[in-house]
Amino acid sequence: MTTTIAVAGKGGTGKTTVCAMIIRYLTRQGFGPVLAIDADPSSNLNLVLGLPLNEQETVGHIREEMLAQVQADSSAGIMSGGLVSGLTKPDYFDYHIRSIMVEGDNVDLVAMGRPEGPGCYCPANNAMRLVLDRLSNQYQFVVMDNEAGLEHLSRRTTRNVEHLLVVTDPGQRGIIAARRVVELVKELNIEVGQTYLVINRVAGGEVPALLQPFVASIGAPLLGIIPEDKTLLAFELSGQPLLELGDESPVYQAVAQMMRQVLE
């Protein structure tokens, strides 16, 4: 059975770092290989995982190509459920998504890419969801890096989520964005098993008193806090993958503790 863990929050709060630490924990515990899905249009999960990524080879580009093919079929008077190539839509997606997958050491990465453009994407999204579900079922864990708007979850272009971690920093804007993510899950009726709040870059190990009322108003239980760590900045400046952080890293230790709670 596959367990999907999604991470969301305002850009710059460290959600991609949290994804990397979750993947590091899962692979260290022998749960790999893990399927990592970068559902943020900025597509930088590959950097913290130390994996190459061609920004022109994403699921979004495949979807655009398939829509163009379907439109060409329609103009040519082809009304079948397949494409000119003879492939069905799910088979088309399956072949191309596997071709753009980046394989790493105990982690495989698929980037969703840019949001949808104009046109009717319902058939493409349905086919894409079917293929991503089929692909995800081959892994014990799927970890998704989402934008705050939860586009792929709300459009049902990715699988349902058992655990959603909403990440914020100790700033008011980040917390307001986190509250909005929690509200979106309810408003859009997104199928999420459990939603948690994670506060990143906390100095002194405690949530500032001024922010505690905001945290209490979010509507999701506080799973844990991640301390401020200047080591991360050194990794980012050097381009060193965060998966290479040592076990002694306070950031890794904090996320590992959260994962133990979640997976119990």
Write down the residue that tokens 């905001």 correspond to.
214
**Nearest-10 Cα torsion for 18, 20, 25, 28:** -170
Q: What is the largest CA-CA distance in the chain?
A: 66
Helical H segments across 101-150, by residue range = 122-136
Provide the residue type at 178 as one letter: A
Tell me the chain's radius of gyration from C-alpha atoms. 19
Type and span of the H or E element at 182: helix 172-187
Neighbours of 261 (CB within 10 A): 11
Write out pLDDT tens, residues 146-185. Answer: 887 787 777 666 668 999 999 999 988 888 889 999 998 8
Q: Which CATH number, 3.40.50.2300, 1.10.4190.10, 3.40.50.720, 3.40.50.300, labels domain 3-263?
A: 3.40.50.300
Q: What is the per-residue pLDDT across 216-242, written as a single tens digit (0 to 9) for each?
A: 889 899 999 999 998 988 998 888 999
Residue position matching structure tokens 């990794």: 235
> For residue range 13-55, what is the model confidence (pLDDT) as tens digits?
999 999 999 999 999 999 989 999 998 887 789 999 999 987 7
Amino acid at 113: G
What pLDDT is stored for residue 75 in this prediction? 55
What tokens does 202 get? 């906390």
The answer to whether 149 and 11 have CB atoms below 8 angstroms apart is no
The phi, psi pair for 142, rounded to 5°, reads -120, 130
| Domain definitions of the chain by residue range | 3-263
Q: What is the structure's pLDDT at 48?
A: 94
Residues 211-220: pLDDT tens digits? 888 888 898 9
Instruction: State pLDDT tens for residues 80-100.
Output: 455 555 677 778 788 888 888
The count of C-alpha atoms lying within 13 angstroms of the C-alpha of 245, restricted to the half-sphere facing its C-beta, is 30
Structure confidence at residue 79 (pLDDT): 44
Task: Please tell me the predicted confidence (pLDDT) of residue 82.
Answer: 52
